[in-house]
Amino acid sequence: MPPDANVVLGVSGGIAAYKAAELLRRFTETGHDVRVVPTRSALAFVGAPTWAALSGKPVTTDVWDEVHEVPHVRTGQRADLVVVAPATADLLAKAAAGLADDLLTNTLLTARCPVVFAPAMHTEMWLHPATQDNVATLRRRGAIVIDPAVGRLTGADSGPGRLPEPEQIFQVCLRVLAGRETRKPDLAGRHVVVSAGGTREHLDPVRFLGNRSSGRQGYALATTAVARGAEVTLIAANVDRPDPAGAKVVRVVSTADLRLAVLEAAATADAVVMAAAVADFRPATVHPNKMKKGTDGPAPVELVRNPDILAELAGTRRTAGEGERHRQVVVGFAAETGDADADVLAHGRAKLVAKGCDLLVVNEVGHDLGFERPDNAAVILGADGTEVEVPNGPKESLADVVWDQVARRWSESSR
């Protein structure tokens, strides 16, 4: 994301308007130039002096202020990103209909940059057919509309409609800005499933067999897919990270749990990306009580093989039928180390054939490689013989390349 991006932060009149102050702080503290454009009703929740003090810029809702600068046109024209948080049902309706009765709605009409809406409203309003139609219209036009979070709303109510946390909205905005020169929301209209984290196979109520996966790569894939317009289901195995904004998160523990959740979500998915580190084996016996140390040393642990979820997905994937646009794309991840028999890539090529997936992301792992780090390097192997090398960099960069490869296969299969 460029350090001098011009960001317009639109704020509409909902109780979640106070959270937008934190989003504003995220942008300004990372060096971005932000102009806050609230609606009149938003100022009933957070006043203009607050927005002016935090942004360092004057705040107005009216197209008649500073007329000589033509703000109703210039504000949108100069923006690299417009993000509306919270976006109320009323604001979404006006944006979908192209109404322009204040500075924010005029800005939305003149902006030619990426536009992100973060809706927040009561559950009944979010689920109303009118709101859903408006969201569909905005997405069809290329806007990113982040699905609201599920949680506590105003008063005692709870359900979908809660504004995602500002940090998570900010992360989506970073991904949108990172690709604004080269990508449109090219995953719009697609449902993608991503698995993340590492499964745990319990020995007893205390101990388990697990791995070092932090879930960072899977979460980067999910956030990037949201930023590129997809409907995202994230299957998270033992990940202690905030839910990515706009993704439906299903939390699981064991490989058996992960398998059931992935297969259910994959039934309606256009792509499945298995970034989770899945245990190949599990204990044959799970002890109901904590295993005691004893005096004769540890007892041997008998292991049995877990189901191969990736191979099962590849073998039972949805195939394009009448009215469908493409064949489901299945992507695997292979965390590999070289050995006396073969190097990392040779192991990866053999695994690609054995699993039957379309793409296999092969990355070398070790004590300071791959796991529990913000960066990653990989080679993406294709069943068609392609090999795409991704140099070491942020895991979000690898995520973009993975989605590029998925989108290319969608395009090829629809010809």
- The catalytic residue positions are 211
Nearest Cα to Cα of residue 69 among 24, 114, 35: 35
- Gap between the Cα atoms of 264 and 398, Å rounded: 26
Nearest Cα to Cα of residue 117 among 60, 51, 172: 172
Contact 31, 4 (CB under 8 A): yes
Q: Cα separations (Å) of 226 from 102, 123, 220, 314?
A: 29, 21, 10, 24
- Gap between the Cα atoms of 50 and 114, Å rounded: 26
- Gap between the Cα atoms of 199 and 220, Å rounded: 18
Instruction: Classify 411 as helix, strand or coil.
Output: helix
Q: At what angle do helices 344-355 and 309-316 cross, to 10 degrees?
A: 50
Instruction: Classify 69 as helix, strand or coil.
Output: helix
User: Residues 16-43, buried b or exposed e (16+ Cβ, 10 A)?
Assistant: bbebbbebbebbbeeebbbbbbbbebbb
Nearest Cα to Cα of residue 248 among 155, 150, 343: 150
Strand partners, 248: 233
Contact 129, 87 (CB under 8 A): no
Contact 2, 81 (CB under 8 A): no
- Gap between the Cα atoms of 388 and 365, Å rounded: 18
Q: Classify the phi-psi angles of 197: left when phi > 0, otherwise alpha if psi is within -120 to 50, otherwise beta.
A: left
What token pair was written down for 314? Answer: 């590849």
Listing DSSP states for 29-64 in one string gives HTT-EEEEEE-TGGGGTS-HHHHHHHHTS-----TT
What token pair was written down for 225? Answer: 């897919």
Residue whose tokens read 């997936």? 357
